[in-house]
Amino acid sequence: MRHTLPIAPQFYVTAPQPCPYLDGRMERKLFTALQGETATKLNDSLSKQGFRRSQNVLYRPSCAECSACMSARINVANFAPTRSQRRVQTRASHLTRRATAPWATEEQYDLFRTYLDSRHATGGMADMDMFEFAAMVEETPIRTRLIEYSDCGELQAVCLTDILDDGLSMVYSFFDPAQEKLSLGTYIILDHIRIARELGLPYVYLGYWVPGSPKMGYKAKFKGLEVFRNGHWSALTTADSFDTAVHPLSTEPIAEQVAKIALPDGRN
């Protein structure tokens, strides 16, 4: 009788490259493939350990000389909107939400290009064409939805969202930069908190918070924010309490980092 042994995910590390968030620093990522029958369980498990999904890959920062990037999530039970956020909810309350299967359209891509050209013209995604955009949206081995926000049928904002066993993971969002008064980026997060409550899910995963980076500072404005650091989640008290630099000798070797990753079947 033949027995097929389970194959543990293989982890790899990228070559260092310039950090897109902090000048003068280099980034490096630890990653593994997301595929097969265990993809959903693996995504659920690793998301709770600071990993993020990009198409069929799960990754986590593993920089040699910096620990600034921390996975962030909102504890829905501890969230309460600020006065400013309540105003955002009111101003954008006319928008219609529609959740669809992850299928890319030209209308979405046009909005995506407008958003990139305005906000991230020099970023790593600046040259994405329609085919690459479709791959970003459609290549997902897990339960994913596109959540669209429209005004009288005109698309205003989109979020690619994964549904985890303990929350919603906002993989990527974009919106019409001309609608600055609506604060659409903030509104999308507030609406995902609302959806999570409707579904009885405790968390909304926001991606990475990077103290000291103007691009990521807005995440610290949400009450109930938690960050993954030193192997566990902890509530964010003040943004100033996190030091973004570490001594190179204090960074664990990749092998030790991988050994501490808990896999869904209980293996390490």
pLDDT digits (tens, 9 = 90+) for 4-63: 434 578 999 999 998 888 888 889 999 999 988 889 999 999 999 999 999 999 999 988
Give 53: exposed, middle or buried? Use CB within 10 Å, 0-12, 13-18, 19+.
buried
Task: Indicate whether 212 pLDDT > 80.
Answer: no
**What is the rounded distance in angstroms from the CA atom of residue 204 to the CA atom of residue 74?**
5
Clarify whether residues 95 and 137 are in a common domain. Answer: yes
Read off the pLDDT band of 213 (50, 70, 90): confident
Q: What is the pTM of this model?
A: 0.91
**Over pLDDT 90: what percentage of the chain?**
64
Read off the pLDDT band of 192 (50, 70, 90): very high
Residue 143 falls inside a structural domain: yes
Read off the pLDDT band of 137 (50, 70, 90): very high
Pairing status of strand 70-75 against strand 225-229: antiparallel
The domain in which residue 51 lies consists of 11-70+243-259
Clarify whether residues 117 and 215 are in a common domain. Answer: yes
Clarify whether residues 176 and 253 are in a common domain. Answer: no
DSSP 3-state percent helix, strand, coil across the chain (nearest 5): 30, 30, 40
Residue 264 falls inside a structural domain: no
> Is the Cβ–Cβ distance between 22 and 244 less than 8 Å?
yes
217 C-beta neighbours (distance < 10 Å), count = 13
